[in-house]
Structure 1
Amino acid sequence: MNELDHTSGFKVSILASGSSGNCTYIETPKRKILVDCGLSGKKIQALMNEVGRDLSDVDTVLVTHEHRDHINGLGVLARRYGFDIYANEATWQSLPTSVGVIKNEQKHIFEMGEVLTLGDIDIQSFGVSHDAAAPQFYSFHYENKQFVMLTDTGYVSDRLRALLRNADAYLIESNHDLELLRMGRYPWSLKQRILGDHGHLSNDDGALAISEMIGDQTKRIFLGHLSQDNNIKALAHETAESILLSKGHGVNDAFRVLDTDPVTPTELFTV
C-alpha cells in the first residue's frame, strides 16, 4: 500500500452498524484495526473485501463490550488470524463461552479512561452507560485528526460531551424513534431497557448530543446502531438534520450527516 495515501489523515470504514452486528475498520500506515467483530467471520471478510481490504492484514481488534452484536465473530477470527485483542478486564471476564478459547498471548488489557498508543495512532477509551459489564468506546487520534465512536449508551454526560468535542468525524448512536419503539411489538420490559439510562440513544437524543460536540473541524457525522424493528433510516437521518439545523449548525455545508447499514459498508473514507 502506498503510504502517501495517508498523508492527510487515516482511513475508516464502518463495515456494519446495527442491532444485528457491528464492526468498524481503521487504517493508518502502521496499523490495521477492527473495532468489534459482531458478525460472522465470513461476513466480516466479505465486508472487508467490499472496501478493498483483507482480514489477513488486520493486526489489532478492540472490543467495546460483550454483547453478541459486538463479539459474534471474535473467537473464530482470533483463532484464524492470531491478531492482538484489547478489552478491559471486566469485559474479558464477561465474554460468553461461545467465543471459545483465545490464546493468552493475544489478550491485552485496555482499561477504561486510558490512552493506548499503537504504532502511529493514539486511542482514548471512555466509559458509556449501557447494560454490560464495563462498556467502553474509543476516540482515535492520528496527526491532529480525530474519529469518535459513540454508540450503545443510554445518555451522554456533560463530561463526555466535553471530552469528545470537535472531532473530524463521529459515529453517533441513532438507535430508535421514540414513537416507533413505544408502538412496536417489543415487550414492555425490553422497551424500558432500551429507553433507560443503560439502554440506547434515540434519534432525538443522539442528535442533541452530537449538536453539542461538533465543531469547526467536524466534516462527517455517521448515524449508527439503528434498530431494525424500531427505526427507519430516512427518519433517523431527517431527525438528525432537523435538530442540527435548529441548533444553528451548517448541515450539508460545514459537514454532512451520513447513514450506516447493518449489511453494507460505508466507503473507505479519509478522516
Structure 2
Amino acid sequence: MGMRFTVLSSGSTGNATVIELGGTTLLVDAGLSARRVEDLLRERDVSPEQLSGILVTHEHTDHVKGVGALARKYKLPIYANEKTWEAMKKYVGQIEPAQRKILETGTAADFGSLRAESFGISHDAAEPVGYTFDDGIHKLSLATDLGYMSDRVKEAIYDSDVLVLESNHDIEMLRMGRYPWNIKRRILSDIGHLSNNAAGEALSELLNGRLKRTYLAHLSRDHNMMDIARMTVRCSMEDSGVFFKDSEFELRDTYWNMPTPWDEVGSKSGE
C-alpha cells in the first residue's frame, strides 16, 4: 500500500490530519483535546502508539491544543520552525529537549520513505506553514489558513496528486454574519482565511492532469456550508474557463466532527 491519509478533523474547532506510509504515521496538527484526537485516530484504526511524530503548521489553538499532551504521553517528537516553537510554548507546555525538533520553513525531513517539506503561507501567526508529502512517486499537499494564494504556495503545491485546500467562508455569509467588523476584516484580509471564491480561482490555476482530488477544508461553521463551498468553488472554476467531469477531478468534503475515509494518494479513486 502506498501513501494514504485521513483528515481527522477540519475547521475552527480543531484540525488534525494523519499521513501514513509503511511504518511511518505522521500527525499534522492536533487542535483538539488529546483525548479527542485519540478517539478520532482509533476511528481510523490507528493506535496513538503508532505515531512517528507531530508536525505543526502554526501556533493557533485550533492547531496545537492537544500537541503537548500527546507528545508527553506517547514520547513523540514535535516538528516546527523556530518562531512557531517560541509562539506555541504557552499552549503546549513543557516538552523534553529530545522531542523538540526544528524544521525551518522551506526545508524537508525524511521519515523512512516519506518526505515532508514545509512552505510558507500568509496568515496572522508567527511563521505559519503548509506541508507537502512525497513518497518518491506521488505528492499530497496540505494548504489551509491561507490569507491568499501566493505564487510561492502555488509553486509548492502545483504538482500534487491530491490537495487539501482551505475553503473557509462564503463572502456574503461572512459579511452578513454576527462577527464584529474587526474580525470579519481580519478573516477577509491577506493574513486571514481563503474564501470559497478564492479557493476556486486558485484551483483553476492548479488543475492539471496530475491533480485528481481536492478536499475542501477548514470550513467556517458560522459562515459556510459544504454544499455552498462545493458549488461556489465549481462555479468559480467554470467562470475562469475550467470545466471538468467528476471522473477526471473530484471535490471532496472534510468534517469538523468526524474523520474522512482513508485516501490512498496514488490511486485513481483514493480507495
**TM-score, normalised on structure 2?**
0.94
Cα offset, 1:218, TM superposition: 1.4
Q: Does 1:184 align with 2:177?
A: yes
1:120-158 deviations in Å (ceiling 9; x for gaps): 111121000000000011010013100010010111112
User: Match of 1:234?
Assistant: 227
2:166 to 173, 195, 199: 173
In structure 2, the CA distance between the partners of 1:238 and 1:133, relative to structure 1 (3 Å rule), is same
Contact 1:166 1:214 in 2 (8 A): no
Contact 1:34 1:58 in 2 (8 A): yes
Corresponding letter in the other structure for 2:87 = S
In structure 2, the CA distance between the partners of 1:57 and 1:110, relative to structure 1 (3 Å rule), is same
Partners of 1:169 and 1:120 lie apart in 2 by 18
SS at match of 1:241: helix
1:225-262 deviations in Å (ceiling 9; x for gaps): 00111111110011112223443242412111001001
1:27 to 20, 31, 52: 20
Contact 1:176 1:227 in 2 (8 A): yes
Q: Does 1:161 align with 2:154?
A: yes
2:126 to 126, 133, 137: 133
Cα offset, 1:96, TM superposition: 4.4
SS at match of 1:46: helix
User: Match of 1:152?
Assistant: 145
Q: Does 1:261 align with 2:263?
A: no
User: Match of 1:202?
Assistant: 195
Corresponding letter in the other structure for 1:199 = G
Q: What percent of counterpart residues are identical? A: 41
Q: Does 1:248 align with 2:238?
A: no
Cα offset, 1:211, TM superposition: 1.9
2:87 to 63, 84, 94: 94
Q: Mind listing any 5+ residue stretches in structure 2 that lack a counterpart? A: 266-271
Cα offset, 1:213, TM superposition: 1.3
Partners of 2:213 and 2:264 lie apart in 1 by 10
Contact 1:34 1:60 in 2 (8 A): yes
Give the paired residue count.
264
1:166-217 deviations in Å (ceiling 9; x for gaps): 3110000000000000000000000010000000000000111122112111
Q: Mind listing any 5+ residue stretches in structure 1 that lack a counterpart? A: 1-5
2:113 to 100, 106, 120: 120
Contact 1:218 1:254 in 2 (8 A): no
Corresponding letter in the other structure for 1:120 = S
Partners of 2:145 and 2:23 lie apart in 1 by 29
